[in-house]
Amino acid sequence: MPEWDTSEVHALAARFRAAPPKAMAAIVPVANKAGVNMKRDMKRAASGHGHLPGLSGAVSYDVESSPAEVKVTVGFDKRGQGNLANIAAFGSVNNAPVMDIMAPLASEVPNFMRWAAKVAGEAMK
């Protein structure tokens, strides 16, 4: 029975096992930048509304990471006029929405995906 040299396969398997933690660590700064960009865009959308002058001040973002995921949350702190964010974003029986809260996400996704792929690929080299 022939002997097979599987050392290269084992080396490749080791690289694959090491890749996710390296990639996830590399993506965290990209997620932070995405959070900053989306917060900026959401603050811009929340500004200039006559009845909600303090709404833009309630916009914040947070990044959470674990070995399996990186999560960016952008939204309104429930304080001051941030308590009225749902009405601004979704409207009410008497008022139409005054801002699109999904627009910052839609504009940031292509940037995030491009940079996440770049840094994750570099981390796995």
**Maximum Cα–Cα distance for the chain, whole Å?**
83
Check pLDDT > 90 for residue 114: yes
Higher pLDDT, 42 or 123: 42
Using CB atoms within 10 Å of the CB of residue 85, give its burial: 0 to 12 exposed, 13 to 18 middle, 19+ buried: buried
pLDDT(93) > 90: yes
Query: Does 76 have pLDDT greater than 70?
Result: yes
Could you tell me which residues come within 8 angstroms of residue 9 by beta carbon, excluding any fewer than 6 positions away?
none
pLDDT for res 1: 63
φ and ψ at residue 73, rounded to 5 degrees:
-120, 120
Q: Which amino acid is at 48?
A: G
Q: What is the mean pLDDT of the chain?
A: 90
| The pLDDT of residue 7 | 87
Over residues 22-48, the pLDDT tens digits come to 888 899 999 999 999 999 999 999 998
User: What is the C-alpha separation between 19 and 10, in angstroms, rounded?
Assistant: 14
Structure confidence at residue 47 (pLDDT)? 92
Per-residue model confidence as pLDDT tens digits over 102-111: 999 999 999 9
d(CA 22, CA 50): 47
Query: Does pLDDT of 16 surpass 80?
Result: no
Cα–Cα distance, 77 to 62 (Å, whole number): 11
